[in-house]
Amino acid sequence: MRDDLSGRTLAEARDAYGADLQFSFYQPTRITFGVGVLRELALELKRVGAARAVVVTDSFLAEKTPLVDQLRKVLGDRLAGVWTGVVADAEADTVDAGAGYARSLGCDAVISFGGGSAIDTAKGIAIVITEGGQIRDHQGSQRLERRLIPHLAIPTTAGTGSEVSCFAVIKDARAKEKMHFADDKLVPDIAVLDPAVTVGMPRSLTAATGLDALTHAVEAFVALPRNPLSDGLAAHAAALVQRYLLRACENPGDLVARGQMLLASNAAGQAFSAAGVGLCHALAHVIGARHHVHHGTANAILLPHVVRFNAVELSDRYRDLALAMGLDVRDSSEAVAAEALANAIADLISASGLPTRLRDAGVPEADLSASAEQALSDGAIVYNGRFAADAELTLEVLRAAF
Ligand SMILES: [Fe+2]
């Protein structure tokens, strides 16, 4: 029998916001998309008034792929130099070293080329070049004084959305902690989305980064600071991942799937830059730091369980998201639809080939309590749509995912 909540379409859903809705939405990045748009890079530099840029990338992309040579060619004399010191998880000492290199060349713009680590490293370099000192001097929220030198971001993975976000996470290896930066001035000026530069991504990285994008979308859709504009971006991003992730995994050269995944990552990045993320990211940050599990993989393992945990209070939101993703929940109650969403995400993760349990990713059961405790001090947890900042609750989710 259909209950009174079944049969609603997204357009007929109950009011998601009241008359007291207030928000601001800041998204200044110029986004240029298309196969081959990399060739327009010199023009994009001119657009931001820069004469000589430094490229910030990693040694793998520089040495094992022809992509950085392509950049050299298209930039010509607008290229000041290529810095290849980016490491996995952007790191403070490398940011300072990169800033020293860029400063020695007298460059007036940075171009990040790579995944989230390259983009976050370039954000750090832009901070140090503009504000002086070391990157450790500037961590925190809305603390930057000056407009940063122009930053053009070229993502080679489809997941972080860092090319449009106001956040950077930079590891302080000496202090063994992650520094968080949140500032409107960190949003890159231009994002160049060229599907052709992502075709070389291996299947496991395609899957992990794609699930990171889905997690941004699903978390932003229920986060406390959400608003109707971030909702639209998040719902569209989730629908794109649902439709295109496996296609990109199975056919690496499929430029349609690659392009739509870049757009999914970008839309999800805009959504979470406005709305924040939540419990899944708080737990994934801890699991990543303690056990070296890839950020996207950690999110993927945890996401279905976070959805089930949140569904106790947020099943109406999840039903709307399930409808937007094309799941067959028109005749389902909110609770059933939320469970269908969790199951659909779990199915996507299994089909992508990623591990589905924490134990399969090398996390020992004995560590769950300490991880649950540590997650309480992660900044993302405060934005979660259901109150989660209690060690019993975080442990409940970790146990479910173990
Ligand atoms: Fe993420």
The per-residue pLDDT for range 168-217, each reduced to its tens digit, is 999 888 877 788 899 999 999 999 999 999 999 999 999 999 999 999 99
Place of tokens 């490229």: 55
Ligand 1 centroid to 166 CA: how many Å?
13
Q: pLDDT tens, 251-297?
A: 999 999 999 999 999 999 999 999 999 999 999 999 998 998 999 99
Q: pLDDT tens, 135-168?
A: 999 999 999 999 999 999 999 999 999 999 999 9
Cβ atoms of 211 and 173 within 8 Å: the answer is no
Q: Spell out the domains of the chain, with CATH numbers in brackets.
A: 10-24+202-401 (1.20.1090.10), 37-193 (3.40.50.1970)
Is the confidence at residue 9, as pLDDT, over 80? Answer: no
Q: What is the dihedral of CA 111, 114, 120, 126, to 10 degrees?
A: -10
Q: At 13, is the pLDDT very low, low, confident or very high (cuts 50, 70, 90)?
A: low
Q: At 310, is the pLDDT very low, low, confident or very high (cuts 50, 70, 90)?
A: very high
pLDDT in the model for residue 12 = 61
Ligand 1 centroid to 216 CA: how many Å?
6
Mean pLDDT, residues 386-401 taken together:
97
Buried b (16+ CB within 10 A) or exposed e, 326-357: ebebeebbbbbbbbbbbebbbebbeebebbbe
Ligand 1 centroid to 296 CA: how many Å?
7
Ligand 1 centroid to 376 CA: how many Å?
17
d(CA 150, CA 188): 7
Is the confidence at residue 4, as pLDDT, over 80? Answer: no
pLDDT in the model for residue 7 = 56
Cβ atoms of 29 and 190 within 8 Å: the answer is yes
Mean pLDDT, residues 360-382 taken together:
95
Sorted by sequence, the CB contacts under 8 Å of residue 363 that are 6+ apart come out as 287, 290, 291, 293, 371, 402
Ligand 1 centroid to 51 CA: how many Å?
33
pLDDT in the model for residue 2 = 43
Is the confidence at residue 133, as pLDDT, over 80? Answer: yes
What are the beta bridge partners of residue 85? 58
Strand pairing class (53-56; 79-83): parallel
pLDDT in the model for residue 1 = 38
**Triad 80, 32, 94: Cα angle to 5°:** 40
Token duo for residue 69: 């040579």
pLDDT in the model for residue 16 = 85
Ligand 1 centroid to 391 CA: how many Å?
22
Record the pTM: 0.95
Ligand 1 centroid to 110 CA: how many Å?
23
Mean pLDDT, residues 319-344 taken together:
97
Mean pLDDT, residues 234-259 taken together:
98
Ligand 1 centroid to 293 CA: how many Å?
13
Q: At 15, is the pLDDT very low, low, confident or very high (cuts 50, 70, 90)?
A: confident
pLDDT in the model for residue 3 = 46
Mean pLDDT value across the chain:
94
3-state secondary structure 303-355: HHHHHHHHHHHHHHHHHHHHHHCCCCCCCCCHHHHHHHHHHHHHHHHHHHCCC
Question: Which DSSP helix (H) or strand (E) runs through 193?
Answer: strand 190-193
Place of tokens 């801890």: 286
Mean pLDDT, residues 19-37 taken together:
96
What are the beta bridge partners of residue 58? 85
Q: How far is CA 327 from CA 3, 88, 218, 280, 340, in A?
A: 18, 35, 14, 22, 8
Ligand 1 centroid to 282 CA: how many Å?
10
Ligand 1 centroid to 42 CA: how many Å?
30
